[in-house]
Chain A
Amino acid sequence: MSTLYEKLGGEAAVDAAVDIFYRKVLADDRINQWFEGIDMERQAAKQKAFLTMALGGPNNYSGKDMRDAHAHMVAKGLGDADFDAVVENLGATLKELGVSDELIGEAAAIVETTRNDVLGK
């Protein structure tokens, strides 16, 4: 069975999604303070890795990576509402690209598996 990542078109689909997704996140006043003052190219590369993972594509992220990468933000109050907002932006991005609700649900379910690690629970 092909993965969601393959169904959506692989790396080309992720490339198309990155700009849209990152733009939504930066424009979202609920969460854009977490993205201030950082190198945009590096961040876009991370967004691509995140989207690749969300779509079930090849990735090397471990739970520990997720925990370590977000620990400094958790210390400053990163919480469930922020996580939910990111998932919402991901859904809106995929919808804009014409992805079906069913597949968006699959992507959201994959992201959901990282919630505890990202939020340091």
Chain B
Amino acid sequence: MTTIKYSDQDYSLNDNESVLECLERHGVAIPFGCRKGVCQSCMMKSVEGTPTAVSQGGLKPTLQDQGYFLSCICKPETDLGVTLADASALPKVTAKVVEKTALNEHIIRLRIAPDSQLDYKPGQFINLHHNNITRSYSLASIQSEEFLELHIERLPNGLMSGWIHDDVCVGDNITIDGPHGDCYYLNNKPEQNLLLVGTGSGLAPLWGIARDAIAQGHRGEIHIFHGSRNADKLYLVDELKALSQQHEQVHYTPCASGESVPEGITAGRANAIALATHPSLSHWRIYLCGHPAMVNETKRKAFLSGASLQEIYADAFEIAADTKT
């Protein structure tokens, strides 16, 4: 008898029954749509055991990697522990601030050491909690580093970013949870070319992803385009240049879209320059992080330039509405 464990309850699975049908039969309501393994409304996450290959077939590789599956077409033969896909409330963890450095006038680098080790992929994000507010920040560090690294841009009236910039000191404890998200490097196609486009602190996940790809032995080209309105808001310029000198496969293009662009910086928007430089993106993998309008527009254009949707990883940095007045 196969058992489905959900929310601390065991449910027995009938012959030829899907996880969705089993939970429904026991009175558990799970969101669903097509019931044919297409619409992804009924996506769940396996936390114990392995979902069937069929039930993961149409999902992004990084979702498969994390155990997500479609419950309407998953008929497991072994026990499975499952949660709703959006039951992402992970336990909160305390982390000590071990370094706080200004990367430029607007962005600081915060390095924190959590009390218990966090099993994460560079490019995923964590949530920071402070005074009943929660904000998400991407992980720029890689696993071999003994800290988590965040790049925090000061937003106008930003409750969290203002607190971190003004009040948080080395030695302080902060509260986090995570990791979350599917925007990270997966070593399943080491020859594939990667296109990484970020604006502002959208560089944080890309800095993690690029170094993670190299650490995992990626052999294809890695093209990094980082953009900002003014060149003085770019950061890690020397580090990225050094990375491209150390690794022949890495190409770095800093971009500024405002007026009076200094030498060594390409004039224009990072996404426009990236797409013009690489007009055919068939078989490429794309990572887009930063300003939501940039991310969404570039996602559409990269798709029209031949990239498969399954290969486009996008992380739009939405800005919370409840900043203080």
Residues of A within 8 A of B (CB): 15, 19, 22-23, 26-27, 37, 40-42, 44-46, 48-49, 52, 58-60
Residues of B259-309 whose CB lies within 8 A of A: 296, 299-300, 303-304, 308-309
In the complex, B38 has a CB within 8 A of chain A: yes
Q: Of B38, B299, B303, which is within 8 A of A49 by CB?
A: B38
A19 x B36 contact (CB < 8 A)? no
CB pair B36 A41 closer than 8 Å:
no
CA distance A40 to B60 in the complex (A): 13
| Chain B residues within 8 Å of A59, by CB | 34, 36
Across-interface contacts of A45 in B (CB, < 8 A)? 38-40, 58
Is B300's CB under 8 angstroms from A44's CB? no
A46 proximity list for chain B (CB < 8 A) = 39
The answer to whether A42 and B38 have CB atoms under 8 Å apart is: no
Contact B38 A52 (CB under 8 A): yes
**Which residue in chain B gives the minimum CB-CB distance to A18?**
B309
Cβ-based interface call for B35 (8 A): yes
- Given A49-B38, A60-B34, answer yes or no on A40-B299 (Cβ-Cβ < 8 Å): yes
Query: Are the CB atoms of B39 and A49 closer together than 8 Å?
Result: yes
Determine the interface band of chain B, counting residues with CB < 8 A from chain A: 10 to 19
| Chain A contact residues, majority secondary structure | helix
Query: Which B positions have Cβ atoms within 8 angstroms of A?
Result: 34-36, 38-40, 58, 296, 299-300, 303-304, 308-309
**Interface residues of B, dominant DSSP:** loop
Q: A26-B303, A40-B300, A40-B303 are in contact. Are A19 and B308 (CB under 8 A)?
A: yes
Contact (Cβ within 8 A) A23 B36: no
Whole-angstrom CA separation of A45 from B63 in the bound complex: 15
With a CB–CB cut-off of 8 A, which chain B residues contact A23? 303-304
Taking A19-B303, A60-B35 as known contacts, 11 extra A-B pairs with beta carbons closer than 8 A to each other, sorted by chain A number, are A23-B304, A26-B303, A37-B296, A40-B299, A42-B40, A44-B309, A46-B39, A49-B34, A49-B38, A58-B36, A60-B36
List the B side residues contacting A27 at CB < 8 Å: 304
Contacts of B303 in A (CB 8 A): 19, 22-23, 26, 40
CB proximity of B158 to chain A, nearest CB, Å: 26
* Residues of A contacting B299 in the complex (Cβ-Cβ under 8 angstroms): 40
Q: 12 A-B contacts, Cβ less than 8 Å apart? A: A15-B58, A23-B303, A26-B300, A40-B299, A40-B303, A41-B309, A42-B39, A45-B38, A45-B39, A45-B58, A49-B34, A60-B34
Across the interface, do A49 and B36 meet the contact criterion of CB distance under 8 Å? yes
